[in-house]
Amino acid sequence: MSSFAERCGIHDAAREQAVARVGRLLEAQGLELVRFAWCDLHGFQRGKTLVASAAAKAMREGVGMVSTLMLKDTSDRTAFKVFEPGGTASLPGFGFANNLLLLADPDSFRQLPWTPSTGWLRAQPYFEDGTPVELDTRRVLQRALAKLDAAGLAMKCGLEVEFHIYRIDDARPQLDPMEADWPGPPPAVSLVHPGYNLLAESWYDLAEEPLRIVQHTAQALGLPLLSLEVELGPSQVEAVFDATDAVTAADNMVLFRNAVKMALRRAGYHATFMCRPPFPNIMSSGWHLHQSLVDGRTGRNVFRREQPAPGTDGSHAGHTLSTLGEQYLAGLLAHARGMAVFCTPTANGFGRFRPNALAPQSVLWGRDNRGAMLRVVGACGDEGTRIENRIGEPAANPYLYLASQVHAGLDGIARGLKAPPATDAPYAGAGERLPTSLGEALAALESDAVLCEAFGRGFIDYFTRIKRSEQQRFDAAEDRDAFQRREYFARF
């Protein structure tokens, strides 16, 4: 009888060899547990932990997962009435908290560096009839990249991730059963550096202990970490990663966020990828996504231009970017408002879009301009020529963030769009404004027919319903700071 993985159409001789290889590694390294992890709509890792002897069978037959995990808002409340008639009518295959099955990729196996005798595998969900769950956000990105592949192109991404690390002063309020709530309270914390001294070596020295944990964790997991930096805000830091293909970049972001939070927590620190932690005098954190397209066969950067286009100067995109690169840039601009909720998906993150804050406020591009939404980096003949999108917050689901770039950019290419002149005054009031709230961003997405078609109306309806649950609770909160402390700071 065939295995579940075979019935799903993903198991062949090569995968069977990979499963056997993982089994040998578990035995050789004396591992006792294996975590089967999956990324949810909000970028959280969830999953189940199996004893090592059960891992090989689970890679062939799947691991059961309640389907409501795909229907949760950021508070972990189910946004669909799964036990009422018609409550999941818009979600074929879902209903009554039925079962899904996680199938792990054996090639994703890693040994976790912060916990003893434990392995880890990345998994994706399937229905019990063997069909893939298309609402899974990793599949959303895979479908977007398939469109690029059909055009002979691939995406390359580099990550710059700002976040905050705090020392936990007292974990008891968070773990006191008398304080338990839904969501629960955040930990009491203090700073690891006082801030307002950008890239100061003395501040780095103050924060070196937790940053060493970040370094060792990332490197032990095989992530392409390049640098760790002290950012401007109190307790704010940044991690920079080398460029990879798009799926690997998104996978790395999910793994990095969850891994450093767990590793730091064990050492008495609280890492948060919340954009604006709930304290006075903080600085917002961004996730700056560097992206380029490459020839799918040769790997050549197709944004690169050898000579400026005739009749152009520095204000023209064609002075640096190829024709295709300019079209891609123009597509990102054309769909900036619609894509915003995939790049900044929390009610908290929209507070970042303010003047003179090294964050965008309007739909503009600039040449090496960190106040613009899109920053063109590079020069003619430079293989590193790329576009940096500065709209993202570090809490974003990376699969959706990257997919939104692909769909917007491909539309610009398909329509042969031209970019407007570069800005040299990103906060002067020119340009269409980015959304200023989660509700406005959701409305902008729903009015963007191209993005709705590209993602699929079923996915858009699913996504917006869950995010509106979050937005409505935020709007109704009597104390929005308390809401954000529990909803975001304690978890993100």
Residues 52-69: pLDDT tens digits? Answer: 999 999 999 999 999 999
Asked if residue 36 lies in contact with residue 102, where contact means CB atoms within 8 angstroms, the answer is yes
Other beta carbons less than 10 A from residue 176's beta carbon: 12
CB 452 within 8 A of CB 458: no
pLDDT digits (tens, 9 = 90+) for 201-212: 999 999 999 999
Alpha-helical (H) ranges within 151-289 are 172-175, 201-206, 208-220, 246-266
More confident residue, 360 or 175: 360
Q: Is the pLDDT assigned to residue 174 strictly greater than 90? A: no
Residue 292 is predicted with a pLDDT of: 98
pLDDT (average), residues 444-467: 97
Range scoring the smallest mean pLDDT among 56-60, 152-156, 188-192, 355-359: 355-359
Residue 222 has pLDDT above 80, yes or no: yes
Residue 444 banded pLDDT, cuts 50, 70, 90: very high
Could you report the per-residue pLDDT of 77-136, keeping only the tens digit for each? Answer: 999 999 998 999 999 999 999 999 999 999 999 999 999 999 999 999 999 999 999 999
Q: Under DSSP, is residue 257 helix (H, G, I), strand (E, B) or coil? A: helix
pLDDT digit string, tens, across residues 413-436: 999 999 999 999 999 878 899 999
From residue 160, alpha-carbon distances to 116, 244, 323, 324 in Å are: 30, 13, 26, 25
Question: Residue 368's pLDDT is what?
Answer: 87
pLDDT for the residue numbered 170: 81
When pLDDT is cut at 50, 70 and 90, the band that residue 324 belongs to is very high
d(CA 249, CA 161): 12
pLDDT at 175 (0 to 100): 80
CA distance 468 to 474: 10
First to last CA, the chain: 43
Residue-level pLDDT at 431: 86
Backbone angle region of 295, left / alpha / beta, with phi > 0 → left and psi within -120 to 50 → alpha: beta
pLDDT tens digits, 102-116: 999 999 999 999 999
Phi first, then psi: give them for residue 288, nearest 5 degrees.
-90, 120
pLDDT at 357: 79
Region 455-475 average pLDDT: 96
Pairing of strands 45-51, 110-111: unpaired
What is the residue-wise DSSP string for 3-71? -HHHHTT---HHHHHHHHHHHHHHHHTT--EEEEEEE-TTS-EEEEEEEGGGHHHHHHH-EEEEGGGGS
Res 114: pLDDT: 97
- Cα separations in angstroms, 436 against 242, 285, 358, 419, 443: 31, 16, 16, 24, 12
Residue 172: per-residue pLDDT: 73
Across the chain, mean pLDDT equals: 95
Beta bridge partners of 375: 366, 388
| Measured distance CA(470)–CA(397) in Å, rounded | 15
Distance (Å, whole) CA 176 – CA 179: 5
Taking residues 461-467, report their average pLDDT.
97
pTM above 0.75?
Answer: yes
295-318 average pLDDT score: 93
Taking residue 212's Cβ as centre, other Cβ atoms within 10 Å add up to 12
Residue % of the chain over a pLDDT of 90: 89
Q: Is the pLDDT of residue 358 over 90?
A: no
pLDDT tens digits, 264-286: 999 999 999 999 999 999 999 99
Quickly list DSSP for 209-230: HHHHHHHHHHHHTT--EEEEEE
What pLDDT, on a 0 to 100 scale, did the predictor assign at position 243?
97
**Res 178: pLDDT:** 83
**What is the set of domains in the chain, with CATH numbers?**
4-133 (3.10.20.70), 144-489 (3.30.590.10)
- Is the pLDDT at 447 greater than 80? The verdict is yes
